[in-house]
Amino acid sequence: MGRASPGREGDARRPPRDEKGRAVGSQRKKIAIIGGDGIGPSVTHEAKLLLEIYRDKAGLPLDLWELDLGADRYLRDGVTFPKEIQIAVQRECAAVLLGALGDPRVPGLEHARDILFGMRFGFDLYANVRPVKALSDRLVPLKGRGAKDVDMVVFRENTEGVYVGMGGQFKRGTPDEVAINEDLNTRKGVERIVRAAFEFAKRTGKKRVCMADKSNAMRHAHELWLRVFDEVRREYPEIESRHLYVDALCLLMIQDPSQFEVLVMNNLFGDIVTDLGAALQGGLGMAASANVHASDPTRVAMFEPVHGSAPPLAGKDIANPFAAILTVGMMLTHLGWPDEETRIERVVAAAIEEKACTVDVGGTLGTRAAAAWVRERVAKEL
């Protein structure tokens, strides 16, 4: 996954081919595609069309498998994430492209929880990798700051913390009600995500890693984070390591984001900090992500834009497709073609500069037209 993901870097050359025009390294890679809810199906469709260009024009050995999963399927027949589908995805697929999940017709989010957590927890995708990179000066909302100042990657622990759902309610609905959510942290879980952040920095030439916690308030759980971070960073003396409380991190990200290159933190803080990061890079419509088992890249990985399903925007052709398109770039790096992430990022940056984009990032185009502009540019270069 290029600059933003565990993988090597490269330039924007055409994918290497053999004498018959087939992409080199042509073991076929199956990609499951889940459009999801709200704007998910529309932006995922545009991303799928880009994958089809890479398959049909560049000759990348991709097999695309569209799955009928989401709120519509759940409301139709009660299906969320069938066990046989989960097993097939885990055994047969190299990657999953997920649109977004969440629909007001399913207030309990049963389908979303089963699909999303079924992959994150079920496939042990413990590293949620989120690039925070501005592609244009005009997208950065900070006075006196530009795109060069916003270029970091957040490693969010993805399988522990408060999101495991441990806890409960006592005397519900009464004045004496008690509600508890447990913050679960294991030595194994903390160490592997911290190590993933350092390994990424080492592999990609990053010089600084910062871990954020709240160990001054959460003395037991986050003292584990602080202690493990201190132990692991000794193995990487060439990388500058730093610890911050998460509230201080948020302050410093606004004052001077250029000081950060790689961030690592727990599940909840990673969720919050990456939304702050998205604001620095032009909004959630520009925010891509990967969910990977960082120590075993042969496992299936899941890729998703992080803007959510945004139901009020569904069907209006106004949602920004660039997060989904940039997510495809991350996926291609993970699958072995890092040059294509570089190419896609460069073309999206050109679209922003030429205002061939949606309204939220300063353009006038709709979802389909903005995505088509990028695809046409990419296709001309292949």
Known catalytic residues are 163, 214, 247, 271, 275
The partner residues of 211 in beta bridges, in order of sequence, read: 243, 264
Q: Are 98 and 36 in contact (CB under 8 A)?
A: yes
CB 234 within 8 A of CB 271: no
Q: What is the spatial distance between Cα 61 and Cα 199, in angstroms, rounded to a whole number?
A: 28
Q: Is 226 exposed, middle or buried (0-12, 13-18, 19+ CB in 10 A)?
A: middle
Q: Return d(Cα 362, Cα 282) in angstroms, integer.
A: 10
